[in-house]
Amino acid sequence: MSERKQATNVEARTWKPAAKSRDREQNTRRGDARGGGKTRGARGGRNKRSDMGRAEWSRTSIDKRARHEENRQAAKRLRLNGQEPILPIYATQFSKEEIEREPRNPKKKVAVMMGYSGSGYKGMQLNHNERTIEGDLFKALVAAGAISKANADDPKKSALIRCARTDKGVHAAGNIVSMKLIVEDPHIVSKINENLSPQIRVFGIERTNGSFSAYQYCDSRIYEYLIPTHCFLPPHPSSYLGKKLVDLAEEANDLRGYEERQEDVSSYWVETEEKYIRPVLERVESSIQSLAHRAIHDVNVKEAEKKLLETTGLKNELGEDKTSKTGAGSVRDLDSIPNTDAIDQETPNVDLLKVTASDVHEPITMDDAEFQKSNSLSANGDQDPEAQESTTDRMPHCTTKGLHSEQVSALDTAIKQLRSAYISAKKTYRIHPRRLERVRSTLSRYVGTQNYHNYTVEKSFKDASAKRVIKSFVVASDPIIIGDTEWLSLKVHGQSFMMHQIRKMVTMAALVVRCGCHEGRVQDSYMADKLSIPKAPGLGLLLERPVFDTYNERLAGQFDREPVDFKKYEKEVEEFKQREIYERIFREEERDNTFYSFFAAIDNLKSSQLLYLSSMGLAATKDNNTPHTSKLIGTNDAVLIESDEDEDRTMVDNDVDT
């Protein structure tokens, strides 16, 4: 090789990194100039989260002063153009004259001790266009005179910082907001409460040192989760999950072990079918008995998708294509669907007390157009519109081909009655001491420092922020009975929690117990494998209280301040919790049957994603021979779950969770 060519190669190797660095710098500048771009670290980029990763993005510094100045200048331009800037719904605008007439009173740094019921609110954190807990609190503070009229349009002027922000619908028996308030009036607390709805209560206001931050000074948090004991019952033997658990236990040669772990509930479903279900079916026309019973455990695709996408984050692996294509992920050809007569001939006398996995037929599906067509005419020509709407909404997954309108209506009624009977049966369940001990043992496996990347969204196994410390996770000594339903109180004490973490921890524990798998499956969830864990309903979750031990021990006495805790307000907190939180949870569950619907949707969803809960373990989710197996949900979880705020500010800012 010539000396000139060698020199050229050396020069190329020498300057190549510099050229790359220069190109990256130019791309970054272009991205910043456009206010977008896909380069890593370019703020405002259209894909900043996916480009740099959530951990790096959360560490990216934001020039808040510049952002505030930009917003101020934008509002000024609107005023110069004769337009009024659009204020957030929580802001109050006073005239210049009103502000000048108001006497100037000193502001003090305080901790606002409060509790709230989150029902009907879009979470804790301030939102420009949605009703939130902080929004109502801020307006009440202005109305009570704790915030001056000059600061009534912007909470930042009062240095508002929350201890923990909760999801929409999630409650808090005790939460704290630190801010600067005018608190000279001895009746200020009662005045604030007069301007709040009964769902929000300020228990007291504690003076703190000037540097106090409700978020930064919080050592740990205690959450409570209320859950009906029937959530720990095994899936119905006719459900998809119930059948797969038995099949995979046999395949793993663990059927005896599985039965031993479910021994305390081994007769539950047999007794339920005899006592609650058989009387309902005996009143139903014989030609539709089997259809009605099967419809309960063959949840239609649309309903399952809606429930699971909104509440669990799982994916329905039957697919969204309601065409006549065959194969996995599609609905069978409509011509191949047998009529009702054929079904009845195959199973003329089904003994529901002896139903096993092999006795249950494959689901029969129809697309909406075919279902509407089959129901459009009765024997006399027309069908009642109300009956058609009700049936269409509830039974698109159960064929009605060959049925007259009277039979379709009777089938709809029978399904409603069966569902009601199953709900009534579950409410009468009382957890066995052995099962309760199994719940306690499973929850204890969360204690310590663990990798919870499977218990939140968009966290990888190697992300250091996925490691969290759980100090305790316990069950109340005795279940409580409200109405007909038995409830358990679960309390978790942790240093900090990520988005959806607590709700997913509760679901995982419930699924481990009800599916009869080994408790070690909880440890498996800390490993690198990506698991799909649904998030339990937000209805049962409440923040019991934050803990400020370090501040109380080191700083409160030093600055002659009262400790920041809820001990002196125990009576008020307990009364508020019983009236506005517990009773609301029990009332909403009685009305909506949220927990029943949540676990019924999980049990009946045809998907391999939860089969790691079987005796086969993680291998069952990776078996290519398993029907409807597809790639497990990983980062796509964030797309499939409903949009809501995270349980704790320790995660990162979200657009609205949990």
List, for residues 343-390, the tens digit of each pLDDT value.
Answer: 233 333 333 233 322 333 223 222 333 323 333 322 333 333 333 334
282 is a domain residue: yes
Distance CA 68, CA 164 (A): 24
Active site residue 335: no
- Whether the Cβ atoms of residue 442 and residue 460 lie closer than 8 Å to each other: no
- SS3 label, residue 467: strand
376 is a domain residue: yes
CA angle 473, 474, 476 (to 5 degrees): 150
Residue 309 to residues 13, 226, 302, 503, 535: CA-CA distances in angstroms? 52, 23, 11, 15, 11
Please tell me the number of Cα atoms within 13 Å of 410 on its side-chain side.
16
Distance CA 622, CA 327 (A): 19
Among 212, 353, 226, 339, which residue's Cα sits nearest to residue 278?
A: 353
Distance CA 353, CA 322 (A): 34
Distance CA 205, CA 200 (A): 15
Check 23, 51, 63, 167 and give the catalytic one: 167
Among 136, 34, 169, which residue's Cα sits nearest to residue 644?
A: 169
Q: Pick the last residue of a domain from 357, 390, 425.
A: 425
Per-residue model confidence (pLDDT) at position 284: 83
Q: Residue 43 sits in which domain range?
A: 3-52
Q: Which helix (H) or strand (E) holds 177?
A: strand 171-181
153 is a domain residue: no
What total of structural domains would you count in the chain?
2
Distance CA 236, CA 515 (A): 11
- Which residues make Cβ contacts (< 8 Å) with residue 507, sequence separation at least 6? 312, 533, 534, 535, 536
Extract the tokens encoding 627.
């029907």
Tens-place pLDDT, residues 180-200? 999 999 999 999 999 999 999
539 is a domain residue: no
Distance CA 298, CA 239 (A): 7
27 is a domain residue: yes
Binding residues for substrate: 223
Question: In terms of DSSP bridges, do strands 220-228 and 161-162 run parallel, antiparallel, or are they unpaired?
Answer: unpaired
Extract the tokens encoding 620.
């069952």
Per-residue model confidence (pLDDT) at position 353: 30
Per-residue model confidence (pLDDT) at position 281: 87
99 is a domain residue: no
Q: Pick the last residue of a domain from 425, 460, 495.
A: 425
Distance CA 458, CA 450 (A): 17
Distance CA 253, CA 141 (A): 65
Please report where in the chains the tokens 């579950």 appear, as a residue.
426
Q: Write the DSSP symbol of residue 151.
A: G
**Which residues make beta-bridge pairs with 122?**
none
What DSSP string runs through 285-348? -GGGHHHHHHHHHS--HHHHHHHHHHHT----TT-S--SS--STTSPPPGGGS--HHHHHHHSS
Q: Which helix (H) or strand (E) holds 411?
A: helix 405-427
Distance CA 446, CA 522 (A): 8
On the 0-12 / 13-18 / 19+ scale of CB atoms within 10 A, 529 is middle
97 is a domain residue: no
Q: Pick the last residue of a domain from 389, 410, 425.
A: 425
pLDDT < 70 regions, the chain: 1-62, 64, 68, 75, 78-79, 84-85, 298-404, 407, 623-658
